[in-house]
Amino acid sequence: MAVTTEEGVTGKPVTPFTPDYKPPTSSLARRRGRAGLWFVMPWIVGFFLWYAIPMIASLWFSFTDFNLVNNQPTQFIGLDNWQKLFSDPMVRQSTLVTLKFGLIALPVAIIFPMALAYLLVNKSLRARETFRALFFMPSIIPFVAAVLIFGGIMNGQIGWVNRMLAVIGITGPNWFQDQTWVYPSLVFIGLWGVGNAMIIFIASMNSVPSSLYDAARIDGASEWRMFRHVTLPVISPIIFYNLIIALIGIFNYFLVPFVLNNGSGDPGGATLFYALYFFRVGFRLFDMGYAATLAWALFVVAVGITGLLFWSAKYWVHYEFER
């Protein structure tokens, strides 16, 4: 699963609920508090330059008909773009596409690396380090190359996948040209990106105190019950973290369908993800005002869903194992 955001993944789960830093209490440090601001200044400036101001400008653009290419002066058009947003069939379609994909991709993005990690922490596994490295390796392959490779191997006519299926008598679908099968196909491509999530899962599974397993074993718990009642709760912060990362990836999902079909959304619009439609509006039709509207709508939805997720966290994410 293409769970990585553009930054790649680091280990710490990022929630506002985790204990924040404690201010140093020595008077020396307190006096230097202001000095600290200077150190943080690059980020503050950067925040305004690349986040705050563009976001406001973007909101402003959404109320205009700003077009980067034609010569006409930009005019304020009020809520026209927003009205268009709600009546645009392409918005509906691209949201559906993103949703359809997300419904399969999100669970896979969590379950697959978790299952792999579970395999790799198994006590009786040989050559553990080799396996770890080899399973991780595809995630550092440039994604563009991965898309081209998968596009080739999964071609409906001459690709290996269908040829292997034909050997056992199954007629494989036209993976990337079939409007239903294209979503699992995209998920397959994403599987190469699970390396990071897998490593983090491994680390967290290893940190489950063995005393818990011992206690469960004494109580006669089976392998599955141990997993469900010991492992899962303890690693739930990591699951939460990967869930957020995967969600971000789905909102931003652009590279794979773009490289695959040059942004056309083939087959028949089935891969016209929301981000692709944004790109088409802003960088093919150069209608920057409407593109800004699309972006802001995405932002609002993303914030909403993320907020929901954070709120839900208190019901299933257990932090008591953190130190």
Partner 1 sequence: MTATLEREDTKPQAPPVTAAHRKRKGGWLVTGFTGLILFVFLLPLGYMLVTSVKSEQMINRVGGPILPNSPASFEFEGKQLDIYTVPMPDGSELELGLLQPGRQVSTFVDPSNPEAGAIEWEGNWRLLSPADELDPQWQNYTRAWDLMDFPILLRNTLAIAGIGTIGAVVSSILVAYGLARFRVPFGRSIMVILVATIVLPRFVTLVPTYAVFARIGWVGTWLPLIVPHFFANAFNVFLLRQYFLTIPKELDEAATIDGAGPMRTLVSVILPQMKAALVAVSLFHFYFAWNDFFEPMIYLTTRPDLQPISVGLRAFNTLYDSQPNLIQSGSMLALIIPVVVFLFAQRVFLQGIDLSGVQK
Partner 2 sequence: MTRWKSLVLFVALMMVVAACGGDSTTETTTTEDPGTDETTTTTTDDGGSSDGERVQIRWFIGIGAGGQPEQRAAQEAVRDAFNESQDEIELVLEIVDNDVAYDTLATQIASGNAPDIIGPVGRDGSNSFAGLYLDIEPLINASGVSTDQWAGAAVENQRESDGTLVGLPFASFPSALFYNKDLFDEAGLPYPPAEYGPDGVSVYGEGTEYEGTWDFDKVAEIAQILAVDANGVDGTDPAFDSENTTQWGFIWQWTDRLFQQGSFWGAGYPVADDGTADIPQEWEDEWHWYQDAVWDTGFAPSQTEIDGALGGNAFQSGNVAMAGTHLWYTCCIRDDENGIVGDFWDIGAMPSNNGTVTTNMHADTFRILATTEHPQEAFDTMYYLLTDAALELLTAYGAAPADPNLTDAFLASLDERYPQGVNWDVILDSAAYADSPSHETALPGWDAYKLTLDDLQSSLLSDPNLDLDAAIATAESNLTTIFQENAE
Residue 221 found at the interface with partner 1 (CB under 8 A) = no
Residue (240 or 277) nearer to partner 2, CB: 277
Whether 265 contacts 257, CB under 8 Å: yes
Tell me which amino acid residue 184 is.
P
Residue 120 found at the interface with partner 1 (CB under 8 A) = yes
Residue (41 or 99) nearer to partner 2, CB: 41
> What are the backbone angles phi and psi of residue 154, rounded to the nearest 5°?
-110, 15
Q: How far apart (Å, rounded) are the C-alpha atoms in residues 102 and 264?
A: 20
Residue 101 found at the interface with partner 1 (CB under 8 A) = no
C-alpha closest to that of 103 among 250, 245, 211, 323: 250
| Residues within window 151-210 making contact with partner 1, judged by CB under 8 A | 152-153, 157-160, 163, 191-192, 196, 199-200, 203-204, 206-207, 210
Query: In the set 77, 85, 90, 119, which binds partner 1 (CB under 8 A)?
Result: 119
* Shortest reach from residue 177's CB to partner 2, in Å: 4
Q: 117 contacts which partner out of partner 2, partner 1, none, CB within 5 to 8 A by kind?
A: none
Binding residues (CB under 8 A) for partner 2: these are 41, 45, 48-49, 53-54, 57, 60-61, 64, 66, 68-74, 89, 155-159, 171, 174, 176-179, 264-269, 272, 280, 283-286
Residue (6 or 72) nearer to partner 1, CB: 6
Instruction: Give the interface segment with partner 1, choosing from 54-62, 87-95, 224-232, 265-273 (CB under 8 A).
Output: 54-62
* Shortest reach from residue 43's CB to partner 2, in Å: 12
Token pair of 205 as six digits: 């599974």
Q: How far apart (Å, rounded) are the C-alpha atoms in residues 159 and 115?
A: 28
Long-range contacts of 80-85 (CB under 8 A, 24+ apart): 81/289, 81/290, 81/292, 81/293, 82/293, 84/290, 84/293, 85/290, 85/293, 85/294, 85/297
Q: 267 contacts which partner out of partner 1, partner 2, none, CB within 5 to 8 A by kind?
A: partner 2
Binding mask 222-251 for partner 1 (x = CB under 8 A): ---------------xx-----x---x--x
Residue 88 gets the label, from left (phi > 0), alpha (psi -120 to 50) or beta, of beta
* Shortest reach from residue 51's CB to partner 1, in Å: 6
| Residues within window 270-309 making contact with partner 1, judged by CB under 8 A | 275, 278, 282-283, 288, 291-292, 294-296, 298-299, 302-303, 306
DSSP state, 287? B
Instruction: Give the interface segment with partner 1, choosing from 57-65, 78-86, 173-181, 225-233 (CB under 8 A).
Output: 57-65
Token pair of 171 as six digits: 């007629």
* Shortest reach from residue 194's CB to partner 1, in Å: 10
Residue (41 or 111) nearer to partner 2, CB: 41
* Shortest reach from residue 200's CB to partner 1, in Å: 7
Residue 172 gets the label, from left (phi > 0), alpha (psi -120 to 50) or beta, of beta
Q: How far apart (Å, rounded) are the C-alpha atoms in residues 315 and 306?
A: 15
Token pair of 311 as six digits: 């709120």
HSE-up (13 A, CA, CB side) for residue 35: 5
